[in-house]
Amino acid sequence: MKTYFAGKEKKENSFEKIYEIVRQIPAGKVATYGQIAALAGNRRWSRVVGFALHVNPDPDGIPCFRVVNRKGEVSEAFAFGGGNRQIELLEAEGIPCPDGRVDLKKYQWERVTTDYLAKM
């Protein structure tokens, strides 16, 4: 897969791959931007993942609120209502977010973790 900056068509293909992966995160689990980036084909695409999720065309079908940073922290700039909204959505699925942070050891999507680590 070529980089995000290669052109509009590549950007759209990259975003679709990112959206496909995020759709697979089950309720009650989270993944990190870096994990999604690695599964999309380039583990250095964390910012691309963030941008793709910020312009999410289908918030009901693409659960971008299940993606957190490498420390488990929610985004203060969550695209659909700020960090507090992301916390509300995660807590509604049974994921506690004390101080805006998810316990990755307990709530990280294992399949993604395994795939991500294999690509490192």
Residues forming the active site: 64
* CA 116 – CA 37 distance, rounded (Å): 9
Residue pair 97/66 in contact by the 8 Å Cβ criterion: no
Strands (DSSP E) found in the chain: 31-32, 67-68
